[in-house]
């Protein structure tokens, strides 16, 4: 079985045979994310997929019609939010399956109160996100994207003047959030000769890097600040004017976490006014909308929220999603349950 979409191509061998139509459990999909689009046929072969996005009726009516049968919902952060109001319309719901690692789009407290289980894809994307973080750091320091554009537009034969970049080795890199991704990123940066320090909710006893209790303290001792933490109410806009002032005019900000962790309006103003040296971003506050002021800045690298995605990790994520659904409908242990204190 094979399919290609958005550059992904897969062949899954040994697929479970489709269940008889009447025996397929219902799986609610409000809006299709990329994982559902790529593996739609696999989902259709095992589940009676309730495609709310194809209904000619308003969502409220569609949910009322399926309120007693929708026990599981598949959701993707960019296109679906699981709110308390939505949960009220789904009294039979027992499982929310996130097709990524982040669960900031899910009201975990309300799910816990209702006894609704939540799963994500674990750390399946951590390695690739860490790789991407290193890539963005090297790109913004060495101006790789700008060099590529310089050559492609035919500027090199006309002028040899292309600004030199900055050295990677020896840079002081502060990591905000030393979880799975942050830890893997730190190990990679050590190999490049960077001096790593971090801020996290608590000091990691297993980490040999310098710990700073606040992000401001970390920024003041960093040449480059990389955002790896989760988005919560406590981390929303944690990167603000005070942090950027501490980072300083020679500092660079890199975000591979979530867009709203950064006060984007303030960041844009600091970049426009030369109050920090540059930035590299894979995530934004109002995706897919990106501040147009950034498009003309040659010290900024922009990426369309693809840092976690490789073909290999994407397929592994599908297997985990399907494994959680199979476990739920078989009444066995979920593979990657999420708790309210994560």
Residue located via tokens 């320091």: 141
Is 113 one of the annotated active-site residues of the chain?
A: no
Is 42 one of the annotated active-site residues of the chain?
A: no
Q: Do 224 and 279 touch, CB atoms closer than 8 A?
A: no
Q: Do 170 and 193 touch, CB atoms closer than 8 A?
A: yes
Distance CA 216, CA 197 (A): 13
Catalytic choice (10, 31, 71, 305): 305
Element (H, E) at 192: none
Nearest to 237 by CA among 262, 258, 217: 262
DSSP strands (E only) in 139-261: 172-176, 195-199, 210-211, 224-227, 252-255
b/e per residue 37-49 (b: at least 16 CB within 10 A): ebbbebbebbbbb
Catalytic choice (105, 127, 258, 285): 258
Is 258 one of the annotated active-site residues of the chain?
A: yes
- Please list the active-site residues: 258, 287, 305
């Amino acid at each position: 079985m094979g399919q290609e979409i958005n550059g992904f191509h897969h062949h899954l061998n040994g697929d479970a045979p489709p269940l008889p139509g009447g025996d397929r459990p219902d799986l609610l999909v409000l809006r299709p994310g990329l994982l559902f689009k790529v593996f739609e046929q696999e989902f259709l072969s095992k589940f009676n997929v309730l495609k709310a996005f194809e209904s000619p009726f308003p969502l409220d009516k569609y949910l009322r019609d399926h309120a007693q049968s929708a026990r599981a919902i598949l959701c993707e952060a960019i296109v679906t939010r699981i709110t308390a109001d939505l949960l009220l319309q789904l009294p039979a719901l027992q499982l929310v399956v996130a097709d990524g690692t982040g669960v900031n789009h899910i009201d975990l407290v309300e799910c816990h109160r209702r006894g609704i289980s939540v799963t994500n894809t674990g750390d399946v994307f951590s390695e690739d996100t860490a790789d991407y973080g290193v890539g963005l750091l090297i790109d913004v320091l060495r101006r790789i994207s700008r060099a590529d554009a310089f050559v492609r537009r035919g500027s090199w034969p006309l002028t040899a003047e292309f600004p030199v970049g900055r050295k990677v080795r020896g840079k002081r890199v502060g990591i905000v959030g030393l979880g799975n991704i942050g830890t893997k990123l730190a190990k990679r940066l050590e190999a490049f000769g960077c001096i790593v320090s971090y801020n996290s909710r608590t000091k990691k006893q297993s980490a040999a890097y310098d710990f700073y209790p606040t992000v401001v303290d970390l920024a003041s001792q960093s040449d480059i600040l990389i955002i790896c933490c989760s988005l919560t109410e406590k981390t929303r806009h944690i990167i603000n004017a005070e942090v950027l002032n501490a980072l300083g005019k020679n500092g660079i900000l890199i975000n591979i976490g979530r867009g709203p962790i950064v006060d984007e309006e303030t960041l844009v103003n600091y970049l426009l006014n030369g109050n920090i040296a540059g930035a590299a971003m894979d995530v934004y506050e109002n995706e897919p909308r990106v501040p147009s002021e950034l498009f003309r800045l040659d010290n900024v690298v922009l990426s369309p929220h693809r840092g976690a995605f490789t073909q290999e990790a994407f397929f592994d994520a599908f297997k985990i999603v399907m494994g959680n659904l199979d476990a739920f409908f078989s009444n066995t242990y979920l593979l990657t349950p999420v708790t309210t204190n994560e």
